[in-house]
Amino acid sequence: MNVNDLARKITEGVSDRIATKEVALQFVLEELDAARQGNDAAIQFVNNSGFSASEYEGAMQNSFEEVDGANGPQQFLLSSVMAYSSDMDFMVNLRLQVVKNIIDEWSLTNQDDGRVENLMQSLKKILEDDEAVMPELTTNIAVPDKAQARHIHFREKNITSAKNILSTIIEITGDDADTIINKSLGNEQEVNEEDDSWLEDWINEESEGIDSEDYELLKEAPFIVFILMALADGEIDLKETTALAKVILDPSAFKNDFLVQVIRDAIPDITPTSIPECLAPIMNNGPDYLNKLQELKRAIDENLDASEALQFKQALIKLGYKIADASGGLFGLGSRVCKQEEQMLRTIAKVLGVTGV
């Protein structure tokens, strides 16, 4: 059996022990952290992996039970490849191929909120730790108050790491450097508030062209998506309504101006307790939520042009994804819930007429 066939067989066993994308990402980062200290083939694999050093360096120190526990993918991979330890080059290539398969299977080098969030946290830590870093990245943003002067050895390392992280995030998200730095430091809300005047003008112009009854229906869109995602695992509980509040507290994160407008109009004051109040009128009518979603599709298609309609639908699907993530479903533990919510996302996309989900 050649290395690729054997790797596919071992990958199946590894995959069976990975329940979520969070586990898959941590598994891969730990493998890269180990491989960077290996032979030439391993080092080359790491350099070509699509991940930055700031993502995987030290990953083994941040492991958790679902990754390297007795029944985790890490231990299964280790025990599987050790059978070929008499041929070190073959064993290394086999292990690297399995890691590559997991990267591809979970699309881990594509744009991913979890990956970007990890990079943002690393960037924030460096910016708040070393006062010399910010001026090397931009002159438009003040150095964080808590940043300190560091020895030149650490300063140069910090600057290099920050530049590499920033470059990776730019490549993944397409955002400019200042936007990324502001987001990492939590300055995004400040920036948004300063720039809100243009959005208010746009909102007034856009809503004038929409049928008033249809607009009331469109205001229900985030809640319909939420209800469908929440009911995927049987019932709506406080954890999920709190997750909805957390996700939509910053609707600008969805990068869709019309969704920002709809959420602001539907819930001007977003809190965990205000969410049930908004849900009650919809749920009390006991509608068929998928039929309601079809009504929403009709309202979207009739009132927005094709490009705006598609972007709004995609933003709604992203909203559903983030609700599952924040409530511990899609990225939480338990493959049963994960499968249910993934299927619901595909159903929502199908009803809305969005392909590729």
C-beta separation of 10 from 98 below 8 A: yes
- CB-CB neighbours of 14 under 10 Å: 22
Task: Please check the confidence at residue 91 and state whether its pLDDT lies above 90.
Answer: yes
Do 206 and 294 reside in the same domain of the chain? Answer: yes
Backbone Cα Rg of the chain = 23
The predicted pLDDT at position 189 comes to 45
| CA dist., res. 211 & res. 217, Å (int) | 10
Do 248 and 331 reside in the same domain of the chain? Answer: yes
Helices 289-303 and 306-326 meet at what angle, rounded to 10?
A: 140
Do 139 and 211 reside in the same domain of the chain? Answer: no
User: 260 lies in a domain?
Assistant: yes
Do 86 and 162 reside in the same domain of the chain? Answer: no
User: 157 lies in a domain?
Assistant: yes
Do 325 and 207 reside in the same domain of the chain? Answer: yes
Distance from chain centroid for Cα 29: 16
Do 9 and 143 reside in the same domain of the chain? Answer: no
User: 146 lies in a domain?
Assistant: yes
Q: Tokens 């006062």 correspond to what residue?
A: 131
Q: Give the tokens for residue 198.
A: 């243009």
345 burial via Cβ count (<10 Å: 0-12, 13-18, 19+):
buried
- In DSSP terms, 130 is beta-bridged to 148
Q: What percent of the chain has pLDDT over 90?
A: 25
Q: How confident is the model at residue 287 (pLDDT cuts 50, 70, 90)?
A: low
| CA dist., res. 46 & res. 57, Å (int) | 11
Do 209 and 96 reside in the same domain of the chain? Answer: no
Do 177 and 199 reside in the same domain of the chain? Answer: no
User: 357 lies in a domain?
Assistant: no
Fill in the amino acid letter for 77.
L
| CA dist., res. 122 & res. 25, Å (int) | 16
Instruction: Collect contacts of 93-96 with beta carbons under 8 A, ≥24 apart.
Output: 93/3, 93/41, 94/3, 94/6, 94/7, 94/10, 95/31, 95/35, 96/35, 96/41, 96/42, 96/45
Task: Please check the confidence at residue 219 and state whether its pLDDT lies above 50.
Answer: yes
Do 82 and 120 reside in the same domain of the chain? Answer: no
End-of-domain residue from the set 105, 140, 159: 105
| CA dist., res. 102 & res. 27, Å (int) | 9
Domain limits for position 288: 195-352
Do 163 and 221 reside in the same domain of the chain? Answer: no
Average pLDDT over residues 223-250: 70
Structure confidence by residue, pLDDT tens digits, 307-353: 888 888 988 888 887 777 655 544 333 333 356 777 888 898 899 98
Report the number of distinct structural domains present in the chain.
3
**Among the listed residues 307, 90, 342, 310, the one whose alpha carbon sits nearest the alpha carbon of residue 228:** 342
End-of-domain residue from the set 138, 162, 188: 188
In this structure, of 5-14, 77-86, 138-147, 232-241, the range with the lowest mean pLDDT score is 232-241
In this structure, of 162-176, 191-205, 233-247, the range with the lowest mean pLDDT score is 191-205
End-of-domain residue from the set 55, 81, 105: 105
- CB-CB neighbours of 162 under 10 Å: 25
Q: How confident is the model at residue 192 (pLDDT cuts 50, 70, 90)?
A: very low
Do 304 and 199 reside in the same domain of the chain? Answer: yes
Average pLDDT over residues 7-18: 94
- Would you say the pTM of this structure is higher than 0.85? no
User: 230 lies in a domain?
Assistant: yes
Q: How confident is the model at residue 101 (pLDDT cuts 50, 70, 90)?
A: very high
C-beta separation of 181 from 127 below 8 A: yes
The predicted pLDDT at position 17 comes to 93
The predicted pLDDT at position 325 comes to 65
Range picked from 32-46, 106-120, 278-292, 334-348 for highest mean pLDDT = 32-46
C-beta separation of 349 from 317 below 8 A: yes
Q: For residue 296, what are the contacts with CB-CB under 8 A and spacing of at least 6? A: 217, 218, 220, 221, 224, 352
The predicted pLDDT at position 245 comes to 67
Q: Which residue has the higher pLDDT, 189 or 231?
A: 231
Task: Please check the confidence at residue 356 and state whether its pLDDT lies above 70.
Answer: no
Structure confidence by residue, pLDDT tens digits, 31-53: 998 999 889 999 999 999 988 88
What is the average pLDDT score of the chain? 80
Task: Please check the confidence at residue 117 and state whether its pLDDT lies above 90.
Answer: no
Q: For residue 272, what are the contacts with CB-CB under 8 A and spacing of at least 6? A: 238, 241, 242, 245
In this structure, of 184-193, 225-234, 341-350, the range with the lowest mean pLDDT score is 184-193
Do 172 and 272 reside in the same domain of the chain? Answer: no
